[in-house]
Structure 1
Amino acid sequence: MTPIQGGSDRSPRRIKALLFDLDGTIAETDSVHFPAWAEILREHGHEVDWAFYRENISGRLNPEIVAEYIPGMSEEETVALVERKESHFRARVGGLEPTSGLVDLIRFASSRDIRSALVTNAPRANAVAVIEALGLGELFSPIVSADDVSAGKPSPEPYLEALARLGVLPEEALVFEDSRSGIASALAAGVPTVGVASTQEPEFLLAAGAFTTVADFTDPHLADLLRPEP
């Protein structure tokens, strides 16, 4: 675990819920999203390599990507194109693996009556497809997806919706995020956030507002965060 520096020093006290982002947090999914977007954008005159994808596409909302790189599409055309891209993604999630330590952390939390929820900008169909591919079954409840809110991350709405469904206060939850927009969303909802350094460097996540970072969920200090302080 990276020492607290640069981010908020407000770590949680008594945890009742863990809120997990999906893409890049519970699994490395960019390797599936990248070819899906590359194929779509190539049809519209854009050659997308890995560096361009990571810098300009990863973590963004689909309508934003379409509006920037395929301007002039109608709402109906945008919806159809995004669904084609997401269908491409869902057809290829079979080889995904959970981030190291994820299942053990959720089981450890559950043994202490701490619930685990999934909060994602992805469509619900994607979230369900990934969870099933990972073999995680019913470990996440609730699942808050793009279909459940009017504004995605970095708006606080997804995390506020999750808190409301769980019936917990922001200070009673802990978020795990791997992106600037996700951290911004969680902090705007008032929830302390751990940066998962899967797609970004720890320093980037701390600067974005995470109070600490981990490489994955095997970090032994995570258990300390879930134990009530005396």
Structure 2
Amino acid sequence: MKLKALLFDLDGTLADTDRLHEQAWLEGLARYGIQADHHYYQTQISGGLNPEIVRRILPQLSEAEGETFLTQKEARFRELAAGVRPLPGLRELWNWAQNRGLRRALVSNAPRVNALFMLERLELSFDCVVLSEELPAGKPDPLPYRRALELLGLSPDEALAFEDSPSGVRSAVGAGIRAVALTTGHRPEALEQAGAFLSIANFTDPRLWGWLQNHHPTAP
């Protein structure tokens, strides 16, 4: 079936922000005596939902204390991300999709304040925005992607998802959507094991463009 929509994760997908989130998390955890590293971040934090992460890693915190921790962590992230830039090739992909009438959706585990901050910095506007924190379940559950398809009125085979974590890939694939993985934070093997059919460093990869041309070759 003809491709009709592109669905994007946010962090690590539209921009290489994973290292900034990592820094903000590790700084915050250090205040509680947790000397975490990159491997810890990848295996214990990346791709998860903030409240669930805090309950698991910092079980001693009350709900209010956990919320304060996350507020501080996300404020620190926004400080670090003030000069964020889109991944190479994103503007070209955006224009390609717009010229062909493809719809675009954001599907993210990010808090709304961060999502709005990032979209303003990247100067991007989507047909719909689906945030896991506003749903009964977030990634890796398929619900966020199913909700995006519902809002767009499309079937899974009419969409292509872009993700950067195994958790996000599993969410998209679980909803029946083909997934391309950005290798900004995880190894290609882990992303492909999660279900991605293609792993790329950024949106300039000729393999991605070959696939896109085969599935939506002509402009209107």
Same topology, TM > 0.5: yes
- RMSD over aligned CA atoms reads 1.8
| CA deviation after TM superposition for structure 1 residue 35, in Å | 2.3
Residue in structure 1 matched with residue 191 of structure 2 by the alignment: 205
Q: Residue 137 of structure 1 is aligned with which of 92, 104, 124?
A: 124
Give 1:158 shift.
Answer: 0.7
Q: Any residues of structure 2 matched to 1:156-171 within 5 Å, and which? A: 156-171=142-157
Q: How does 1:70-81 map to 2 (within 5 A)?
A: 70-81=58-69
Are 1:118 and 2:106 matched, yes or no? Answer: yes
**Equivalent residue letter for 2:168:** G
Distance of 1:75 and 1:58 partners within structure 2? 21
2-structure distance, mates of 1:167, 1:225: 23
1:20 aligns with 2:8: yes
Contact preservation (8 Å) 2:46, 2:165: no
**Runs of 5+ in structure 2 lacking a partner?**
none
In structure 1, the partner of 2:159 is: 173
Contact 1:124 1:146 in 2 (8 A): no
> Residue 104 of structure 2 aligns to a residue in which SS?
strand
Is contact 1:183–1:193 with CA below 8 Å preserved after alignment?
yes
Q: How does 1:1-230 map to 2 (within 5 A)?
A: 13-134=1-122, 136-138=123-125, 140-227=126-213, 228=215
AA at the equivalent of 1:125: V
Report the secondary structure of 2:47's partner residue: coil
Q: Could you tell me whether the CA contact under 8 Å between 2:179 and 2:196 is conserved in 1?
A: yes
Aligned residues of 2:132 and 2:139 also touching (Cα < 8 A): no
- Say which is worse superposed, 186-195 or 83-92, in terms of deviation: 83-92
Name the amino acid aligned to 1:112.
R
Contact 2:47 2:139 (C-alpha < 8 Å) held by counterparts: no
Counterpart for residue 8 of structure 1? none
Q: Deviations over 1:124-163 (max 9, x none)?
A: 11111112222x232x221111333121100111101111
Aligned AA (2:73)? K
AA matched with 1:164: E
Q: How many residues align?
A: 216
2: distance between equivalents of 1:229 and 1:106? 14
Query: What code does the residue aligned with 2:33 have?
Result: G
Deviation at 1:44, TM superposition (A): 1.2
Say which SS state the counterpart of residue 67 (structure 2) adopts: helix
CA contact (8 A) 2:18 2:184 kept: no
Q: Tell me, yes or no, if the aligned pair for 1:177 and 1:195 is still in contact at 8 Å.
A: yes
Q: 1:10 maps to what in 2?
A: none
Amino acid at match of 1:35: Q
TM-score (norm 1): 0.87
Q: Distance in 1 between matches of 2:105 and 2:127?
A: 5
Query: Where does the alignment leave 5 or more consecutive residues of structure 1 unmatched?
Result: 1-12
Aligned residue for 1:91, secondary structure, equals: helix
Q: Which moved more, 1:142-151 or 1:187-196?
A: 142-151
